[in-house]
Structure 1
Amino acid sequence: MDVRRRFGGGPVAGVLPVGVAVVVLGILLFVVRDAAYRATASGAVALPSVVGGFFEVVGELGLVVLAGVAAWLTWRARSRGLEHLAVAAVAAVSTVAAYVLSEVVKGFVREDRPCRTLSVHTVAACPAPGDWSWPSNHATIAAALATAVVILAPVWWRLAVPLTLAVGASRVLTGAHYWHDVLAGFVVGVVVVWFGTWALAPTGHRLLQRSVASGPSRWRRVLGQGYTPRYAAPDLAEAGADPEGEGSGQPGGPPAR
């Protein structure tokens, strides 16, 4: 079974036009970063305080909802076979990798928060010095989780995509980030999880096959496998042997005629 079949024409299908659009948008947002930030943050402050509080809640609660959906889909994958479970597990690992990468980039770029460098009153308190701005961790995590959700169950894009955009927008509305910080976070999250899952899902599938074949029954139950699956002995299956010895009375023997 092709673990990568859910990616359609491959991980790079349609990437070029999207990539060009993202680069152009990123350049524009960087050029107007100060003006765009001031307009957004000041506009949010002018709204009723309850609205500002809502923006803060969206930034945190959105991540919780996305993580909950991703966790549920991962749990559900157990009952759909090791192929689905492997994709879910690799997507989860890739999500963590996206967050770690965003932290590494933050420490390398060391861009100050706009709420610290610009004289703008903001909805939320400005993070402490040394808590760098580019890229946005919230945007990275939201985009990574949303990408994992869409890979596991494409129909969930209707929730995942708008919620991710809301999380990203909330980071600018509350004054924590520039718009280009959020866009960069989106790019990191999507790229790492999409390409990471495509590249590593087959390896994850093989590792799960071997662990089920050689592991204890308790481990098989954890993985949702209450029995030894038909691909527990892939080498025999690929060689055309009969691992069950059906029809011959001999293990691995030819079928009886």
Structure 2
Amino acid sequence: MNLISPPIGESSRRDDLTRFHTRGLLIAAVVLGGCALIAFPIRQHTYAAIVDWATASQLDSLIGFIANGGLWILVAPTLTAAAWCFVRARRRFWTSVSAGVGVIAAYLLGEGIKILVARPRPCTDVDVPTVLVCPGAGDWSFPSNHSVLAAAFATACMFTLVHSAWIVMPIALAIAGSRVAVGVHDVHDVLSGLALGIAVVTGAVLLLRPVLDRALDGGEPARRTTPTHCTSE
């Protein structure tokens, strides 16, 4: 399949946009990590306030649905974007594969941290009614892997289709917030999970980019081949 390279000026503008989003993602990860540190000392008060609101509201069923199945809302557009770029822009497709490696790495790292930290769920410490049943002993709380995966999938989707940020990032935040509202995580659990997911996927794409360039261009400078719908590196 022949792919038409965009004009040099257009490619440069897209490069600038991608670099801007990459810097923004790394800054967001740092800010979220800082917010997690701030939220830790007041975790019980914020947890109780949010859970009380959720259980008393008329939205408890919706919040429970988002907390349990919201990740599929992000998986679908991420896979669709990757399939679109497989047809229209191979380089962008392989960038999405690099992001997929980051998603897997973020999940495994999150699971490893959970085992090492072994922090009990907040619903075992704070006596408040919760939307979801409190997980049993051994099902650790920190970090929230739902939040890790939500941020990871959203970040992967952004690297495939840059302008999707305005859709996927609010969804990721809603999923993370719902995990607190249903009573299974503290605020710092989900903030840390979001930071981890963003940082690992962004790092994976940046680390694998030279390998991708060498594989696709035979060691030559990367040739910009992405059409309008899938922005170039």
TM over 0.5: yes
Q: 1:64 to 1:14 in 2, by over 3 A?
A: closer
Measure, in 1, the Cα distance between the counterparts of 2:69 and 2:142: 22
Instruction: Tell me how far apart the structure 2 counterparts of residues 121 and 173 of structure 1 sit (CA, whole Å).
Output: 11
1:11, distance to aligned residue in structure 2 (A): 4.5
How far apart in 2 are the matches of 1:136 and 1:47?
23
**Matches for 1:60-139 after TM superposition, within 5 Å:** 60-139=68-147
Greater relative contact order (Cα < 8 A, sep 6+) = 2
Equivalent residue in structure 1 for 2:166, among 123, 145, 158: 158
| Residue 44 of structure 1: how far off its partner (Å) | 1.2
* Distance in structure 2 (CA, Å) of the matches to 1:196 and 1:130: 30
TM-score (norm 1): 0.74
CA offset digits 1:100-120 (Å, max 9, x no partner): 110000000010000112211
Tell me, yes or no, if the aligned pair for 1:11 and 1:195 is still in contact at 8 Å.
no
> Which residue in 1 is equivalent to 2:18?
7
- 8 Å CA contact 2:26, 2:199 repeated in 1: no
- 1:242 counterpart residue number: none
Length-normalised TM-score, structure 2: 0.81
* 108-117 vs 73-82, greater mean Cα deviation: 73-82
- CA change 1:127–1:158 in 2 (3 A) is same
Hey, what does 1:141 align to over in structure 2?
Answer: 149
Q: Distance in 2 between matches of 1:20 and 1:195?
A: 13
- Residue number in structure 1 paired with 2:36: 26
Are 2:36 and 2:189, in contact at CA under 8 Å, matched by a contact in 1?
no
Q: Distance in 2 between matches of 1:117 and 1:204?
A: 47
Q: Which protein is bigger by CA-based radius of gyration?
A: 1
- The letter of the residue matching 2:116 is F
1:25/1:59 Cα in 2 relative to 1: closer, same or farther (>3 Å)? Answer: same
The verdict on how the C-alpha distance between 1:88 and 1:23 changes in structure 2, with shifts beyond 3 A counting, is closer
Where does structure 1 lack aligned partners over 5 or more consecutive residues? Answer: 210-230, 239-257
Deviations 1:5-30 (A, max 9, x none): 463269456856x5664344222210
Cα drift, residue 80 of structure 1:
2.8
Match of 2:181 in 1: 173
Q: After TM superposition, list the pairs within 5 Å mapping 1:52-63 onto structure 2.
A: 52-63=60-71
Given residue 76 of structure 2, which amino acid in structure 1 is its aligned partner?
G
Identical counterparts, % of pairs? 30
Counterpart residue identity of residue 98, structure 1: A
Q: 1:130 offset after TM fit, Å?
A: 0.4
- 5+ residue gaps, structure 2, are 6-10, 222-233
How far apart, CA to CA, are the structure 2 residues paired with 1:134 and 1:202?
Answer: 33
Are residues 197 and 26 of structure 1, via their aligned partners in 2, closer, same or farther at CA, if it must alter by over 3 Å?
same
What is the alpha-carbon root mean square deviation over aligned residues? 2.5
CA–CA distance in structure 1, aligned partners of residues 163 and 55 of structure 2: 36
- Aligned to 1:100, the other structure's residue is in SS state helix
